[in-house]
Amino acid sequence: METFGRGCLYIIIGIVVVMILALFVGGTITIPWFILIPLLIFAFWVASQNNKK
């Protein structure tokens, strides 16, 4: 459960960063699904690696 919570936290932080970037750029940022899905998997993988330390 700790990995899931940490993975969700990383995803939320990533979304906030993209929203701030969109605010500075002054438009919308579209992330295609074939890029988004590996990023989600990567976030949960990083979270699982932090638990092993």
Instruction: Give the model confidence (pLDDT) of 19-50 as tens digits.
Output: 888 888 877 777 788 888 888 888 888 888 86
DSSP 52: T
pLDDT at site 1: 59
Q: Is 48 left (phi over 0), alpha (psi -120 to 50) or beta?
A: alpha
pLDDT at site 19: 86
- Kindly report the pTM of this predicted structure: 0.69
For residues 18 and 29, the answer to whether their CB atoms sit within 8 Å is yes
Q: Is residue 53 scored above 60 in pLDDT? A: no
pLDDT at site 52: 66
How far is 15 from 41, CA to CA, in rounded Å? 15
Number of domains in the chain: 1
pLDDT at site 30: 79
Look up the domain containing 9 and give its range. Answer: 2-51
pLDDT at site 51: 61
CA-angle at 37, arms to 39 and 43, nearest 5°:
35
CA-angle at 14, arms to 21 and 12, nearest 5°:
125
